[in-house]
Amino acid sequence: MEALSLGASDFIQKPSGSVSVDIHTVHDTLIPMLFGYGGAYRRSQGKKVLSPDEYTQKPPAAQLQDLNAYFRPSPLPAAAPAKAPAQLRKPGKVEIIAIGISTGGPDALRVVFSGLDKDLTVPIVVVQHMPPGFTNEVAKSLDRICPMKVKEAEDGDAVEKGRILIAQGNKHMEVERKGAGAVVRLSETPLVSGHRPSADVLFASVAMTYENHALGVIMTGMGRDGAAQLGTIYKEGGLTLGQDEKSAVVYGMPRVAWELGHVMEQVPLEKMAQRICDLSKK
């Protein structure tokens, strides 16, 4: 956590045990992460972002297929978004903000949370893809720079004004009504969209519970988690934002959401906090 606060981009978990039967997970995590951050750096230098097979010898077909799904050469523009789904009702006053984020997330959340207005009181729930055991420390580090209270979510925690709840690693997080308010529920049900916690799970529950009083935000990350159910927030009458390609370390999750027509507005990272505040105070 100290390394992240001093400028480290991300981290991976080392293999466990004296005989590392899970060492393949380092391979599966490290290669896409290197392409993601390397590509972001090359873009910042005005250089071409190469596809994975242009960097190294061609990997096995399955690996190449996976990597190409995550990273496309930068000259390829994002596809035109599909027609947005019809909304069941008009947007209402924002009562909850839900964020889904993955690779590049720790730094991006620092930028967003440190930039939130001091008078913002709308509760925020976050799914950040991260191994178990780390989300508590991430929450503590973000709490030190954010005007709102940030904590790792526990089952039954109230969704209350002025507080940000971050899903625990390896546990899905949903919101549900309880009395006049709402609480979060954690579970270890099967992976969704390849992840636990899953942004799709969170977004679906937010859409069901808050209907047109929700703001969904999808940010930097590999794959497509959150893209489908962000559309459910939109269909219910909620508002949706997506991080733009230029500022995303990996333009995967927000790209898919945009191409599905589920993102109302693409926003650069440096302007995301203010845009969230503006929409939440209407």
Type and span of the H or E element at 143: helix 135-143
> Whole-angstrom Cα distance, residue 282 to residue 232?
21
Query: How many alpha carbons lie under 13 Å from residue 113 in its C-beta half-sphere?
Result: 30
Residue type, 141: S
Instruction: Kindly tell me the burial class for residue 261, based on how many C-beta atoms sit within 10 Å of its own C-beta (0-12, 13-18, 19 or more).
Output: middle
Question: Among the options 195, 198, 200, 225, which is catalytic?
Answer: 225
Distance CA 173, CA 159 (A): 12
Q: Is 244 a catalytic residue?
A: no
Rounded to an integer, what distance in angstroms lies between the CA atom of residue 74 and that of residue 244? 13
Which of these is catalytic: 102, 193, 198, 205?
102
Among candidate residues 129, 195, 213, 262, the one labeled active-site is 129
Residue 173 vs residues 96, 170, 185, 188, 270: alpha-carbon distances, Å: 14, 10, 6, 9, 27
CA distance between the termini of the chain: 35
Q: Active site includes 225?
A: yes
Collapsing DSSP to helix, strand or coil, 217 comes out as: strand
Q: How many Cα atoms within 13 Å fall on the side-chain side of residue 242?
A: 31
Euclidean distance between CA atoms 160 and 174, whole angstroms: 14
Amino acid at 19: V
Is 102 a catalytic site residue? yes
Question: Residue 207 — left, alpha, or beta (φ > 0 → left; ψ -120 to 50 → alpha)?
Answer: alpha
Residues with active-site annotation: 102, 129, 225
